[in-house]
Amino acid sequence: MSEYLSPNLGIELRKVSALGLAHVGDAVFELMVRTWLCCSGVSTAKALHGGAVTFASAKAQASAFQKIKPHLTEQELDVYKRGRNAQVNNVPRNASHNDYHAATGFETLFGHLYLSGRIERLDELFELVIADSEKQDDE
């Protein structure tokens, strides 16, 4: 295994823990957000950081899940639930218990899709997440 930025690494995703998938999914989602911000013309470090934090918080990811939920397949919902129900030891003070678990499920789904090589599906779901933000930018 040497192409770590190439998805579909040939691993059995059932053997990867939900929190392992969430760990990867968190990075994938944040990279997508950062890329989108840069491509949208955000140029200052402060604005880039602020935008990334806005989308990557537990509350924002829980909200993002609600946007994509109607568009998920049964298998994708199962992956989300696997992550949402994972045993976590610490919930940050700035996040509710429910938001944190929903965000973990969201990240698990993104990690699973990435490691499965389903980049087009990731792009589709990400477009749904940012759809309202793009409309606000146009106004």
pLDDT, tens only, 40-67: 998 898 998 888 888 989 999 999 999 9
Has residue 62 been placed in a domain?
A: yes
CB contact set of 3 (below 8 Å; sequence gap of 6+)? 9
Has residue 32 been placed in a domain?
A: yes
Q: How many domains does the chain have?
A: 1
pLDDT, tens only, 116-125: 989 999 999 9
**What's residue 43's pLDDT?**
83
Q: Is the pTM of this model over 0.85?
A: yes
Instruction: Please state, rounded to an integer, the average pLDDT across all residues of the chain.
Output: 87
Rounded average pLDDT over 27-41: 93
Helices (H) and strands (E) in the chain, counts: 6, 0
Has residue 51 been placed in a domain?
A: yes
Catalytic option among 26, 123, 132, 137 = 26
Has residue 106 been placed in a domain?
A: yes
First to last CA, the chain: 46
CATH number at residue 80: 1.10.1520.10
Contact 108, 79 (CB under 8 A): yes
CA dist list (Å): 91 to 35, 58, 100:
27, 10, 7
Q: Does the active-site annotation cover 123?
A: no
Has residue 125 been placed in a domain?
A: yes
Amino acid at 58: A
Domain limits for position 53: 16-132
